[in-house]
């Protein structure tokens, strides 16, 4: 029976280009998961969009002396271009700047207010006397009270991942002018998170199958007790507050950005001509998966679930398979120091599948993992090209040249051949289970070891030697090898969609590979084969030093 799978993916701030950390952390695993479920015949709704609000945007706009809208429009376009080139298969990638999003955010705000889960209070807010303004979130810097990191921001410590209030920080200063702010009273709305503690605890008790790092982090925060959080800010860029007297304030970006999962689902439904089509993805048996980096865990395992509990009638997250961080050349990624590999730069120079391969087989699933150009070139040349690409090329070229440009007709299969085909089916079944549980690294490793088995089989059978004396034996071996390629194109399709589509066509199948579903298609004996091309290209070792020299040397890309 087909399932409804909602896939929500972190909303990137439209204030700078995407980098490999974003991709390894959230976008690639989400896309693999979506493609897998679509192949299985499940109904998938994968949504996200540009986060247009919050102080990361206004800081950038002030830095560049441009209106915020100009900044967000520029990067939104760039995101769309990257998704298309990298093959991230959204059902909808929208923005938080739509009237629909404002309406859905207002609806949730007013419903929670009505039920007493949102209340008004007067609180001291940091105010910079020199800049003559209130300082929300990222306009404040200071030392984290938990881990003593000196560059913590008013909303969060990037070092230990804790969410913070500005008054928690030690040695406060204004991000713009470094003046010590004073606190002035301002009226704000608060989310009564404390009211959800018990319900969140019992909900999380059923989540023993979540990733241990996600669960432990969440339970640790919950253990310390949940404090109510201000959900409005003294800022004029963002979603308006639907209450009189709050015209010069806006809804806190984190409160409204997570609502984006729901508003994007509704927008998708409207765009597809049935305004209720989002409901099967949010109610009853539907399962919602949220793909995010570990710096966003709290918002998806505590705050968004609390908001949904308060609002009612919608499913809470089924799983939040947050990834750890990707380091670059052994060091922590830092956009401000330009210690990053930017996605637009990568996509300008290289094909998408080698990156998808590297970040899949080296995914920071349960611990941080590293990207280095040397390792990237090695994995491309020694694994993707040597193990998989060459197998495809050898088999397809041999069939094309020696069997009249067609799939040969096999004779009787010996036990070695039958065993190999059985292994392919076993691999498909085990990757099926692994992907369902979001074990991406293990899945692609299983696929690659199947490719190794196929190589060993081909070397044993050596059809290039048997062709002259026993062409039937050669035909059988090549037919079995073509069947292995057919299995590989399916198992690898969620990971390497571009090369899987090519291989699908090189094997003589027409149309889109997605239509073939999650099963091994047997090659059709006698089917004409097109002239094969290599699936991947070897990369020259010289790019290692060339590419590594770009890292850390250019100017900052984020305020």
Q: Which residues bind Zn ion (CB under 5 A)?
A: 128, 130-131, 144, 146-147, 149, 157, 159-160, 174, 176-177, 179
Q: Least Å distance between CB 298 and Zn ion?
A: 13
User: Up-side HSE of residue 464: CA atoms within 13 Å toward CB?
Assistant: 10
List Cα–Cα distances, 398 to 24, 30, 213, 336, 465, in angstroms.
Answer: 37, 37, 48, 52, 12
SS3 for 250? strand
List Cα–Cα distances, 2 to 283, 310, 425, 498, in angstroms.
Answer: 15, 30, 21, 26
Q: Least Å distance between CB 480 and Zn ion?
A: 57
Q: Least Å distance between CB 54 and Zn ion?
A: 18
b vs e for 394-430, b when ≥16 Cβ sit within 10 Å of the residue's Cβ? bbbbbbbebbeebbbebbebeeebeebbebbeebbee
Nearer to Zn ion (CB atom), residue 176 or residue 467:
176
Between strands 4-9 and 43-50, the pairing is parallel
Q: Least Å distance between CB 7 and Zn ion?
A: 30
Q: What is the DSSP letter of 227?
A: P
Nearer to Zn ion (CB atom), residue 179 or residue 186:
179
Nearer to Zn ion (CB atom), residue 74 or residue 147:
147
Nearer to Zn ion (CB atom), residue 133 or residue 192:
133
Q: Least Å distance between CB 148 and Zn ion?
A: 7
SS3 for 266? helix
Distance CA 292, CA 217 (A): 14
51 Ramachandran zone, left/alpha/beta (phi>0; psi -120 to 50): beta
Tell me the DSSP string of 73-116.
HHHHHHHHHHHHHHT---SEEEETTSHHHHHHHHHHHHHHHHTT
Q: Least Å distance between CB 325 and Zn ion?
A: 15
Q: Least Å distance between CB 30 and Zn ion?
A: 27
Between strands 133-134 and 118-128, the pairing is antiparallel
Strand order from edge to edge, sheet including 287-291:
92-95, 43-50, 4-9, 287-291
Three-state SS string across 343-369, please?
Answer: HHHHHHHCCHHHHHHHHHHCCCCCCCE
Nearer to Zn ion (CB atom), residue 152 or residue 473:
152
Nearer to Zn ion (CB atom), residue 127 or residue 495:
127
Please count the residues of the chain. Answer: 559
Nearer to Zn ion (CB atom), residue 74 or residue 160:
160
Nearer to Zn ion (CB atom), residue 37 or residue 153:
153
Q: Least Å distance between CB 190 and Zn ion?
A: 23
Q: Least Å distance between CB 174 and Zn ion?
A: 3
Do 364 and 326 touch, CB atoms closer than 8 A?
yes
Nearer to Zn ion (CB atom), residue 152 or residue 384:
152
Distance CA 451, CA 268 (A): 39
Q: Least Å distance between CB 512 and Zn ion?
A: 47
Nearer to Zn ion (CB atom), residue 149 or residue 311:
149
């Amino acid at each position: 029976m087909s399932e409804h799978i909602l896939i929500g993916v972190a909303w990137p701030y439209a204030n700078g280009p995407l980098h490999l950390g974003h991709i390894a952390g959230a976008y690639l695993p989400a896309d693999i998961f979506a493609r897998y479920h679509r192949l299985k015949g499940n109904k998938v709704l994968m949504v996200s969009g540009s986060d247009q609000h919050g102080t990361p945007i206004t800081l950038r706009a002030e830095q560049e002396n441009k209106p915020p809208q100009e900044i967000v429009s520029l990067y939104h376009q760039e995101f769309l271009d990257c998704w298309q080139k990298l093959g991230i298969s959204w059902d909808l990638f929208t923005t938080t700047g739509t009237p629909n999003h404002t309406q859905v955010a207002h609806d949730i705000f007013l419903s929670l207010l009505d039920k007493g889960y949102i209340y008004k209070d007067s609180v001291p807010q940091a105010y910079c006397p020199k800049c003559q303004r209130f300082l929300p979130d990222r306009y404040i810097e200071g030392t984290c009270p938990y881990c003593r990191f000196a560059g913590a921001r008013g909303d969060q410590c990037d070092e230990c991942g804790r969410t913070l209030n500005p008054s928690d920080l030690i040695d406060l200063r204004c991000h713009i002018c470094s003046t010590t702010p004073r606190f002035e009273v301002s009226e704000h709305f608060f989310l009564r998170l404390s009211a959800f503690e018990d319900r969140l605890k019992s909900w999380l008790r059923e989540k023993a199958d979540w990733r241990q790092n996600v669960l432990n982090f969440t339970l640790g925060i919950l253990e310390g007790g949940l404090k109510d959080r201000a959900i409005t800010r003294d800022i004029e860029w963002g979603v308006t507050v639907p209450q009189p007297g709050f015209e010069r304030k806006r809804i806190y970006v984190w409160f409204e950005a997570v609502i984006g999962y729901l508003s994007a689902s509704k927008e998708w439904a409207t765009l597809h001509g049935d305004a209720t089509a989002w409901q099967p993805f949010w109610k009853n048996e539907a399962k919602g998966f949220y793909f995010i980096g570990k710096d966003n865990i709290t918002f998806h395992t505590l705050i968004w679930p609390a908001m949904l509990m308060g609002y009612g009638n919608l499913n809470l997250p089924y799983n939040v398979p947050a990834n750890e961080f990707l380091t670059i050349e052994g060091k922590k990624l830092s956009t401000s120091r330009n210690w990053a590999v930017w996605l637009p730069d990568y996509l300008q120079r290289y094909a998408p599948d080698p990156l998808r391969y590297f970040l899949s087989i080296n995914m920071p699933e349960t611990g941080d993992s590293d990207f280095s150009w040397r390792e990237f070139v090695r994995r491309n040349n020694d694994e993707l090209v040597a193990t998989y690409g060459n197998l495809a090329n050898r088999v397809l070229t041999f069939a094309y040249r020696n069997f009249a440009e067609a799939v040969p007709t096999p004779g009787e299969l010996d036990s070695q051949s039958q065993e190999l085909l059985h292994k392919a089916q076993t691999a498909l079944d085990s990757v099926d289970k692994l992907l369902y549980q979001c074990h991406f690294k293990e899945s692609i490793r299983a696929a690659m070891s199947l490719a190794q088995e196929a190589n060993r089989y081909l070397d044993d059978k050596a059809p290039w030697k048997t062709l002259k004396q026993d062409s039937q034996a050669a035909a059988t071996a090549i037919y079995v090898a073509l069947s292995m390629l057919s299995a590989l194109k399916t198992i690898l399709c969620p990971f390497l969609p571009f090369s899987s589509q090519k291989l699908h066509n090189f094997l003589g199948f027409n149309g889109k590979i997605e239509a073939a579903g999650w099963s091994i298609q047997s090659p059709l004996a006698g089917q004409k084969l097109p002239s094969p091309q290599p699936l991947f290209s070897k990369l020259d070792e010289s790019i290692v030093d060339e590419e590594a020299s770009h890292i850390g040397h250019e100017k900052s890309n984020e305020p």
